[in-house]
Amino acid sequence: MIKILHTADWHLGQTFFGYDRSQEHTCFLNWLAEQIRAEQVDALIVAGDVFDVSNPSAVAQQMYYRFIHRVTAENPHLQLLIVAGNHDSAARLEAPMPLLETMRTQVRGVVRKTPEGEIDEEHLLVELKNAAGEPEVLCLAVPYLRQGDYPVVESEGNRYAEGVGELYRRLVARAVNRRERSQSIVAVGHLQATGSEIAEKDYSERTIIGGLECVSPVVFSDEVVYTALGHIHKAQRVSGREQVRYAGSPLPMSFAEKHYHHGVVVVTIDQGRLVEMRKLSSPLLVPLVSVPATGTLSREEILSALQKLPMPEGEAPYLEVKVLLDGPDPKFPQEVLEVLADKAYRLTRIVPYYRQATKAEAEDASLYQEEGLRAMHPLQLVQSVFQRTYQMPMPEELLTLFQEACLSVDTAKEEDKA
């Protein structure tokens, strides 16, 4: 029997509308270390996006390495398997591998190639051992895949999805041939699966519009007893398949995620079967508060509601204000700050809506806030501007061309880093 803890999307180093989140991430990592000990976990799987940016701060890296040192020291048989996400630098994550391997930690970020230029599939298979030291699970440890990381598949459809699917099919076949006796197969990936749920107007996950990067969960065949996914911040099963799961992010990454049930998944596998799967809810150190909770209020109603805000217990919550105005009101932000002067709240943003705007335009107004622009994918910006300028959706052919351009730019950036 082996017990695995599945987590993902830590985004260490993230700032929330300019506020540092180190305290929140430290709280989560301390809680996670306690769960590993209390649950007597045999293996910890981190399914990508360890860091929020490819060049994380020294503080974020210290948190990461101290956590690894702590949990491997406190749990002498614990193994760690970490794959890179789209926010991570694959090469940076793998750089300290010689040191990490001494702490029973395996990292898969870069998809290696053989001298013949073929994908090194064997490198993407990692054994996980049970408490008795027996290799009970064979993991398909697949990081976030960029162009060139997956087989080229001739297809008139989605070449990215087809290529990623083909890589997983090859890895499953290799694992089936390699495994011994009742050894189980577990898949790990950082991707967007078809059928996964994302909150409306949540730009923190930076998905590709139109489904260019959507991969069908069908690629995780019945030979795979559990699939540990990262990238989508909402904890969920995929397309009704209980054994294909997103652990979700441990912290809300945007106000769109404030009602998510954040945490980790504990999975128990015995004799080649998935025998138990449980969700553990992670602590929320800093609450997210919206005024009003739904919809909008006039400037007078907003100021009155802010005056009535109760003093919070514990850490100061993050606060967003959604106000309905007749027109631009440059004095309003200062009035909000004055009302909040003696209240322990962290004002993150004021989202204005205007009475003369159509409903669709009012809903889009928040897209142009500074933080929204930083989090949005370029295609989302182009679509919004096109819609507002021409009063019609962006044509499919332009969408496809722009998507391909975005993927090319991302690939060029990765090549420059290498």
Nearest alpha carbon to residue 54 among 408, 416, 369: 416
Average pLDDT over residues 300-304: 96
User: Which pLDDT does position 402 carry in this prediction?
Assistant: 83
Please tell me the least confidently modeled range out of 14-23, 345-354, 403-412.
403-412
* Residue 180 predicted with pLDDT over 90: no
Share of the chain above pLDDT 90, in %: 69
Identity of the residue numbered 55: N
pLDDT, tens digit, 9 for 90 and up, residues 83-99: 999 999 999 999 999 99
pLDDT, tens digit, 9 for 90 and up, residues 193-236: 988 887 655 555 555 444 556 888 888 888 999 999 999 999 99
What is the token pair recorded at 224?
């795979």
User: Which pLDDT does position 210 carry in this prediction?
Assistant: 44
Count of residues in the chain = 418
User: Which pLDDT does position 201 carry in this prediction?
Assistant: 56
For residues 64 and 209, the answer to whether their CB atoms sit within 8 Å is no
pLDDT, tens digit, 9 for 90 and up, residues 127-178: 999 999 999 999 999 999 998 899 988 877 788 889 999 999 999 999 999 8
Average pLDDT over residues 5-22: 97
* Residue 104 predicted with pLDDT over 90: yes
Average pLDDT over residues 270-292: 95
Give the helix/strand (H/E) hosting 372.
Answer: helix 370-375
Average pLDDT over residues 26-37: 98
Query: Which runs of consecutive H residues, i.e. helices, occur in 77-224?
Result: 90-94, 97-101, 159-178
3-state class (DSSP) for residue 291: strand
User: Which pLDDT does position 212 carry in this prediction?
Assistant: 58
Nearest alpha carbon to residue 217 among 235, 198, 192: 192
User: Which pLDDT does position 344 carry in this prediction?
Assistant: 92
User: Which pLDDT does position 153 carry in this prediction?
Assistant: 85
Query: Which runs of consecutive H residues, i.e. helices, occur in 21-150?
Result: 22-39, 58-74, 90-94, 97-101
Higher per-residue confidence, 406 vs 333 = 333
User: Which pLDDT does position 418 carry in this prediction?
Assistant: 59
* Residue 379 predicted with pLDDT over 80: no
Domains of the chain: residue spans and CATH: 2-281 (3.60.21.10), 288-376 (no CATH)
3-state class (DSSP) for residue 13: coil
Average pLDDT over residues 108-126: 95
What is the token pair recorded at 59?
């503080």
| Token pair 């015995």 in the structure block, residue | 270
Average pLDDT over residues 107-127: 95
When the pLDDT of each residue in the chain is averaged and rounded to a whole number, the result is 88
In sequence order, the β-bridge partners of residue 264 are 280
364 pLDDT tier (thresholds 50, 70, 90): low
271 pLDDT tier (thresholds 50, 70, 90): confident
**Crossing angle, helix 378-390 and helix 396-417, to 10 degrees?**
150
User: Which pLDDT does position 382 carry in this prediction?
Assistant: 81
